[in-house]
Amino acid sequence: MTTIEAPTKACHNCRRQRLRCDRSYPHCNKCIAAGKECLGYGKLFRWTGAVASRGKLAGRTSSAPVDDSTRPNARSRLTPPASTPSHSPSSLHGSGRESPFYPRPRDEPPLADQHGTVASTADLAPEDAQLITRPRSTDNSSVSSPWVLVDPLFQDLEPSNRYYLSYSLTWETVTQRLCKDLVSQDHPDRNPFRTLLPLTRAHPLLQHIIVAASAAHMSNLVRASHVYSNDANQLLGTSEAEEASARAYRDALVAKHKALSLMRDAVRDVDSTGGDVILAAALFFINVELIESGKHGWKAHLEGAGRIMSLLQPALPGNEALRDYMLSDCFVYFILGSAFMPAAAFDTGSFFQPSQIPSILGRAAANSYLCCPPEILAILHAASQLSNASTDAHSDDEIRAAGLALIQRAQAFDINAWANDVRNISYLQDAPIQSRIHAGSAHRLAACLYILQAIPSLSEMKGHDEVAESLSRDIFKHLSSIPDDDPNFKATTWPTFIVGAEATGRARREWVMNRLRRLVVSCPWGFLYTAMDTLQVIWSLDGQNKGTRGWVQTLKDPKLNFLIV
């Protein structure tokens, strides 16, 4: 019987990550435990078009693309009709201009550049499809192979799924992509959500729900870029934009339906699928609902995520960061959802404990997309509980005193120290501290304004209206200090909504609506449209007899049931 000699070197995965390999044959057990495909110990083939994930070449492809001169008809297929102005390849990769859209077969996904503009794949041959598009080579030398090999991780996927996974998780085009929206600072090897990509091959559930989120995101991006863009040279017509948006949305619905079916099977046997995989899927189900509209459906998925959290085993080595961010996002959704929900609306059981808020949120606070101190979120959750407190169990004076104490806690919090804490993290040395201070301050002031309006007994406080006006004025000041191109601009949705709900003058309301429209272009999530519609509902109450009922109590109507993050 032939004996197999033990490997003398670490597997390719462990060598690349500088880990101590257990040298198991034929596959490393450390890779299997981490949910990764072990690349083994033999000769490693490097595929044309691979993207470097670290080092000086991070985000760049490993070799030149296929020269179009080897395929005479390839360039003519992508050339716009004579009636359409021609565009250089650079317009598809990184320029501020948008490319035209051309019809394509229904089984092929639309291609969008980093600004959401859709390009044609109508006439591409099957062998032309790649995971990531790249600019044409300026080198005149020919390439012997007439096609580019696809990364083995994606070779068995449908073209549309392959493209949407690339859209959400790859690093080559970092602007207006899904994973960029999930953290404050998007770094190729520090965004834990990017580590989900290798798991999609082994877990179809994860693959389909990420495809659903990516397709819905693209649908909104094309729509927002066309409706709210200030580019006078926009080349995408209304009907073409609507068609591209609708096609991506249909792809999202199909993938979402498949993911729902797979989720039913997964929750029946959590151990075989893996708790982290199911929790990631549940989190992306919530994200899909938020990308679509932020209405109703998110609550059931959040309650399901809470139940999965209670079943989790200790995180495997290497998965701690992803686990921390997933738990943090679930708690953030729970806290912000509770702010406008009646007391009995959440069936959370013991899954979300207030005592866990600071520790869980603190582990991911440095690069959280929300850019809000965990202490302020804890105060906000306590205020939402006071808002729902029964006057039978507590006197108005007790509730009022507790509310004032929360406002004092929020005002005493040191935002500057919190914002500068990111300097202690090596990969966040270049984080914009000033905009972080402004975003954190806006959240703190918005929490104080929420407390004033959410606790009915505080409306009787002397100088209530003057305090609310002062808070609103300061919120506008901080929000105005964060430019649209700042990475923390997307973190200002919640304080923008709160100050908008409080706004009474026409100028302020128009300012808020304009900012929300710009936020849609920057971060095309559907809950922003819901926020704009909800503000119109609040403002329409001005001419009606509202009595003592504030706008926070109005938003707790079960018919609304929305989430603003």
Query: d(Cα 309, Cα 342) in Å, to the nearest integer?
Result: 23
**477-532 residue pLDDT tens:** 999 999 999 999 999 999 999 999 999 999 999 999 999 999 998 889 999 999 99
User: What pLDDT was estimated at residue 466?
Assistant: 93
Query: d(Cα 465, Cα 473) in Å, to the nearest integer?
Result: 12
Please compute Rg for the chain using Cα positions: 25
- Confidence band for 544, pLDDT divided at 50, 70 and 90: low
Query: d(Cα 307, Cα 267) in Å, to the nearest integer?
Result: 10
Which of 48-52, 496-500, 549-553 has the lowest average pLDDT? 48-52
**264-293 residue pLDDT tens:** 999 998 888 889 999 999 999 999 999 998
- Average confidence score pLDDT of the chain: 77
pTM for this model (two decimals): 0.71
Query: d(Cα 551, Cα 541) in Å, to the nearest integer?
Result: 9
Residue 60 has pLDDT above 60, yes or no: yes
8 A C-beta contact, residue 209 and residue 217: no
Residue 182 C-alpha from the chain's centroid: 3
Higher pLDDT, 415 or 12: 415
Q: Which residues contact 375 (CB under 8 A, 6 or more apart)?
A: 358, 409, 413, 418
Read off the pLDDT of each residue in 433-458 and give the average, rounded to a whole number: 94
Residue 169 has pLDDT above 60, yes or no: no
- Helix (H) or strand (E) segment spanning residue 470: helix 464-480
User: What pLDDT was estimated at residue 222?
Assistant: 84
- Confidence band for 115, pLDDT divided at 50, 70 and 90: very low
**117-148 residue pLDDT tens:** 444 433 333 333 343 344 444 444 444 444 44
Provide CATH code, domain 1-44: 4.10.240.10
Which of 110-114, 218-222, 263-267, 392-396 has the lowest average pLDDT? 110-114
User: What pLDDT was estimated at residue 286?
Assistant: 95
- Confidence band for 200, pLDDT divided at 50, 70 and 90: confident
Which of 383, 399, 402 has its CA nearest to residue 391?
399
- Confidence band for 28, pLDDT divided at 50, 70 and 90: confident
Its sign, for the CA torsion 474, 370, 533, 301, is negative
Which of 18-22, 186-190, 486-490 has the lowest average pLDDT? 186-190
Residue 428 C-alpha from the chain's centroid: 19
The tokens of 107 are what? 């089984």
Higher pLDDT, 531 or 550: 531
Q: E strands of 50-195, at which residues?
A: 111-112, 118-119
Residue 316 has pLDDT above 80, yes or no: no
8 A C-beta contact, residue 436 and residue 372: no
Read off the pLDDT of each residue in 231-237 and give the average, rounded to a whole number: 50
- Confidence band for 111, pLDDT divided at 50, 70 and 90: very low
Query: d(Cα 335, Cα 524) in Å, to the nearest integer?
Result: 22
Residue 553 has pLDDT above 80, yes or no: yes
Query: d(Cα 160, Cα 153) in Å, to the nearest integer?
Result: 15
User: What pLDDT was estimated at residue 345?
Assistant: 66
User: What pLDDT was estimated at residue 159?
Assistant: 64
Instruction: Say what percent of the chain tops pLDDT 70.
Output: 70
Tokens 């020269």, residue located: 67
State phi, psi for 162 to the nearest 5 degrees. Answer: -60, -40
The tokens of 421 are what? 């804490």
Which range has the top average pLDDT, 27-36, 247-256, 340-349? 247-256
8 A C-beta contact, residue 428 and residue 408: no
Residue 299 has pLDDT above 70, yes or no: yes
Residue 12 has pLDDT above 60, yes or no: yes
Read off the pLDDT of each residue in 312-318 and give the average, rounded to a whole number: 79
Query: d(Cα 533, Cα 545) in Å, to the nearest integer?
Result: 21
Counted residue by residue, the chain has a size of: 565
Query: d(Cα 441, Cα 71) in Å, to the nearest integer?
Result: 57
Query: d(Cα 347, Cα 542) in Å, to the nearest integer?
Result: 34
Which of 159-163, 388-392, 431-435, 510-514 has the lowest average pLDDT? 159-163
Largest Cα–Cα separation, the chain: 91
Which of 559, 565, 546, 435 has its CA nearest to residue 498?
565
8 A C-beta contact, residue 235 and residue 202: no
User: What pLDDT was estimated at residue 477?
Assistant: 97
User: What pLDDT was estimated at residue 241?
Assistant: 79
- Sequence spans of domains, the chain: 1-44, 68-268, 353-555
Tokens 């429209």, residue located: 517
User: What pLDDT was estimated at residue 78?
Assistant: 26
User: What pLDDT was estimated at residue 146?
Assistant: 41
User: What pLDDT was estimated at residue 429?
Assistant: 85
* Number of CB atoms found within 10 A of residue 295's CB: 19
User: What pLDDT was estimated at residue 475?
Assistant: 97
Instruction: Say what percent of the chain tops pLDDT 90.
Output: 33
User: What pLDDT was estimated at residue 94?
Assistant: 35
In three-state secondary structure terms, 439 is helix
State phi, psi for 119 to the nearest 5 degrees. Answer: -110, 170
Which range has the top average pLDDT, 19-28, 93-102, 182-191, 481-490? 481-490
User: What pLDDT was estimated at residue 149?
Assistant: 46
Q: 92-104 in b/e burial notation, b at 16+ Cβ within 10 A?
A: bbeeebbbbbbeb
- Confidence band for 534, pLDDT divided at 50, 70 and 90: very high
Read off the pLDDT of each residue in 421-449 and give the average, rounded to a whole number: 92
In three-state secondary structure terms, 96 is coil
User: What pLDDT was estimated at residue 113?
Assistant: 42
**75-102 residue pLDDT tens:** 333 233 333 333 333 332 333 333 323 2
